[in-house]
Structure 1
């Protein structure tokens, strides 16, 4: 719920008669602005008229005592507020060193001082930065260096960190701004007025979840906090309130979760959504929503943390380790088959099933599961998602519900029964063989490139021996070394040699064939070394070599190309025959077979 929204000048936000303190959550994102942003802020102030609009900030106001120091938790806009405060500190430093200040100027300096610290509590800074990378201590050291705070020690190497760099940069810019002025004090007062009259929209909300709701509609200059940032801040705040002085220890424990999940925010957010969805039967007594989504994630985790923060963190550490294994970030010791299967599930975009796997990994003992049960389940899931992603059946919107239902209905089963239940339940929600075959015979490359690549690579890998094995998923930069190649070119301008070969010189017929057949499985293969065979003739594509003498054409030793290198030409009939052959192989490789006995 929004408590208030007002557009305030900086001088009001930092009113010297108020007891307002802006506290950035201790383990919020560290101060990251650099020279580009520092100059942009100062130049905007200098180049525009008074009352320049700087953006917005979001604060959580949970104060109860109007007479006490009012601490606002600054959850968005912290980069901007920190920079403004550093700029004011630099102005104060230059101002205080000006000679012969008259009474009015001394009063202005006095007021500026109490924009940086409270008037009634001179040891209380108005802004309390987050602690990461020594931001808080460095900022306090800046205030100590200019004589605003007393008895502040500077941490080693502070001069090499961003807060002091920003302070020195602003000092340099201000001195340059005053360098050729006949009246530097008046010019400095003009700069201070620009800062004081600049405005910010201050939005006060009552809770973290209210703040997050706003982030998706506000477009501030800074990068808004994510749901994961806010979950972390809430958790660490509760844990520290229960164990004063433990913030470093608690942060390091939280970091285990993030390290396990990796740097990809999409993966982190998906983990937290899928955790609730996976374990909803046991969590709905604490917080009950139909399904965890991006928009209600904060609401869910605020309640889980409030119920038992310590237990929650322990669970997250353990579950994130499971998730790291599931998403193939970490190889499973002595379980190469399971690791390989999980990697294939990731490649076929089977992420909706991760919520099921989280439960199987976590409840393995209670469900009396052996490793072979997990392997059998993942094998089935791979087949399921090859078929689902080829046909789009069932629809994407139904997948989370399906897997949540599977989890809830299997928890009283054990061993083989668990696996058979999963297979039987998913088979009822899968495309039929007829639907699967129809999709495979259609323009599969156009409809789903990921499925197309997966099945072609899988067919090729199934024919590899130890001597002929190559990594078809190898990357060079962000591009696959081994790429999908259209035999009959896919480009709009069909080369003359292909018009002649495939349509006896009839350009209109060749275009009709292109639209009907070019993206079918039978017209696709794999070529290596990032080669671009493109619009070359069929003969060139067969025998092409790169500058290093490597075979990058169809004569590259792959099974998929064996039927191509013996052909002298390429026709629609050959595409149809090869499509039928490959479709049969794919369907045989990915059946939905219900196991009778899994473990021996």
Structure 2
């Protein structure tokens, strides 16, 4: 007989509370991948969570699914899918206990305590959630046992990964702490008891429980299958067509298919439609894309044919932006959160915004400053929505520039990005290659440059090698202190094709120049690498001069216009 699955929509209080009919204890099985969420994941989840809390404290906030299988050996539930969010919410609850416990009502104290451990026993064996064996000690000692999370207030936000090494649980607890500090510094200060009520009662998961591991893994694969039968886009299309007669349905479908084919030729139809949604609402979506757009059309009294015609016109503007052979569009494509700039610029094209060129340059400067400063999505989100609103009102580019400037000044973003750009360890930042490409685009007057993709065929070359042995000829010009200072700074880095990088290796400067030049009768195509060929030596002073030149050019690009 086929097993009957238990599928329930549960809020956090029911997931974490004691249930006499069902032991609500959870663990990550050892075969699962480790906890891997980072600063960006934390920021996105909490920003969405607080947006939902701010919008409506009585509506449910859906957080996805959790797939469980009963572990018969110890009575716990193995988490097959959903462990990243589950772990994060557990850290979040422990954070609330560590910093706000004395401010909670007795009822909320009991709720928070019970979410962490069994109400009758607080030993490690009765923790509500346990991670895998390998990471168990890090998690338990730093997050849930003893006196809870012990924060060191001297650790700044940009020092967390450096000061809190090899413990992702504690790192993320610090990121939660700084998110909260940014939040409660606002005038409307947080009512912690009201928020705990929302968190425990309105945050919901679809909990799917199986008694068989192989069956649970099959469920996980189905849930994560990209070929699910009906996406929100399909549902939107179906609902819009429902109200039409037979002939109008044909017209609608032909238009829809034409847009789909045109966009999907080089980009993604869903990404374009998401930009269109952001343009329409100029705020964070609270529902699925189909529900949001259908609500909008109902409020605006827009019929289905008018809706598809508007989507078509917006898609033309979207494609015009995305297909532009333009240096600023090229560098914007390197950003992690493309939805904001694509929406703003597509809306500007769609509405024939008069200062498009200056707007484009300011967006590149703003988003790159935030990226290089290590800012999360929470810092740019609301400002991005405000800009969309201003574009729709045809506000001046000066007003938009002031919005950007105020945001940068509020968080000292410009100061932080410049510090990181001039640091000794630029090579280890995830934006390193993108920034070198920015310099490559803007270090010449060539307006017909081709887009440089961030693929594995282009490496970042260290001119002074990463490894300098004691008998290396580089030791003649560089002390160990200078090697430590300069190896990974931006003045010592240059883009190089994979083949050239392999050829260059740890050679002397002369041999490296030979590889950069015409070895195999193929010269490097990168302008900033060709600049190296004009140098006869490579010394600490040369690296510092080159660093200053590169930083100066990048600061020009990343300055608000």
Query: TM-score if structure 1 supplies the norm length?
Result: 0.49
1:402 CA displacement: 1.0
1:374-453 equivalences in 2 (<5 Å)? 374-393=356-375, 395-409=376-390, 411-413=392-394, 418-430=396-408, 431=412, 433-442=414-423, 443-447=425-429, 448-453=431-436
CA distance in 1, matches of 2:269, 2:537: 52
Aligned-partner SS, 1:488 = coil
Match of 2:534 in 1: 565
Q: 1:591 and 2:556 equivalent?
A: no
Task: Tell me how many residue pairs correspond in the alignment.
Answer: 342
CA distance in 1, matches of 2:306, 2:513: 62
Q: 1:500 and 2:475 equivalent?
A: yes
CA distance in 2, matches of 1:278, 1:213: 34
1:472 CA displacement: 7.0
CA distance in 1, matches of 2:230, 2:477: 55
1:441 CA displacement: 0.5
Q: 1:297 and 2:286 equivalent?
A: no
Q: 1:345 and 2:345 equivalent?
A: no
1:207-218 equivalences in 2 (<5 Å)? 218=220
1:46-85 equivalences in 2 (<5 Å)? none
1:496 CA displacement: 4.2
1:487 CA displacement: 0.7
Aligned-partner SS, 2:488 = coil
Q: 1:356 and 2:344 equivalent?
A: yes
Match of 1:87 in 2: none
Q: 1:543 and 2:522 equivalent?
A: no
Contact 1:322 1:362 in 2 (8 A): yes
CA distance in 1, matches of 2:363, 2:235: 36
1:103-118 equivalences in 2 (<5 Å)? none
CA distance in 1, matches of 2:292, 2:249: 23
CA distance in 2, matches of 1:242, 1:405: 35
CA distance in 2, matches of 1:264, 1:582: 33
Q: Structure 1 562/450 Cα, relative in aligned 2: closer, same or farther at 3 Å?
A: closer
CA distance in 2, matches of 1:221, 1:413: 43
Aligned-partner SS, 2:348 = helix
Match of 1:521 in 2: 490
Match of 2:277 in 1: 276
Match of 1:490 in 2: 466
Q: Structure 1 224/574 Cα, relative in aligned 2: closer, same or farther at 3 Å?
A: closer
Contact 1:495 1:535 in 2 (8 A): no
Q: Structure 1 408/473 Cα, relative in aligned 2: closer, same or farther at 3 Å?
A: closer
CA distance in 2, matches of 1:241, 1:411: 29
The higher radius of gyration belongs to 1
Q: Structure 1 262/523 Cα, relative in aligned 2: closer, same or farther at 3 Å?
A: same
Contact 2:491 2:550 in 1 (8 A): yes
CA distance in 2, matches of 1:263, 1:226: 22
1:457 CA displacement: 1.1
CA distance in 2, matches of 1:389, 1:399: 10
Q: Structure 1 548/561 Cα, relative in aligned 2: closer, same or farther at 3 Å?
A: closer
Contact 2:426 2:432 in 1 (8 A): yes
1:420 CA displacement: 1.0
1:586 CA displacement: 2.0
CA distance in 2, matches of 1:227, 1:410: 37
1:524 CA displacement: 1.1
Aligned-partner SS, 1:292 = coil
- Note the alpha carbon deviations across 1:190-211, whole angstroms, 9 max, x for none: xxxxxxxxxxxxxxxxxxxx99
Match of 1:69 in 2: none
Q: Structure 1 432/564 Cα, relative in aligned 2: closer, same or farther at 3 Å?
A: farther
Match of 2:321 in 1: 326
Contact 1:344 1:382 in 2 (8 A): yes
CA distance in 2, matches of 1:363, 1:409: 12
1:247 CA displacement: 5.1
Aligned-partner SS, 1:242 = coil
1:126-137 equivalences in 2 (<5 Å)? none
Structure scoring higher RCO (CA < 8 A, sep ≥ 6) equals 2
Match of 2:47 in 1: none
1:177-256 equivalences in 2 (<5 Å)? 218-220=220-222, 223-225=225-227, 229-236=231-238, 238-240=240-242, 242-244=244-246, 248-256=250-258
Aligned-partner SS, 1:461 = coil
CA distance in 2, matches of 1:298, 1:568: 61
CA distance in 2, matches of 1:433, 1:255: 45
CA distance in 2, matches of 1:474, 1:234: 33
Contact 1:542 1:565 in 2 (8 A): no
CA distance in 1, matches of 2:434, 2:463: 18
- Note the alpha carbon deviations across 1:159-181, whole angstroms, 9 max, x for none: xxxxxxxxxxxxxxxxxxxxxxx
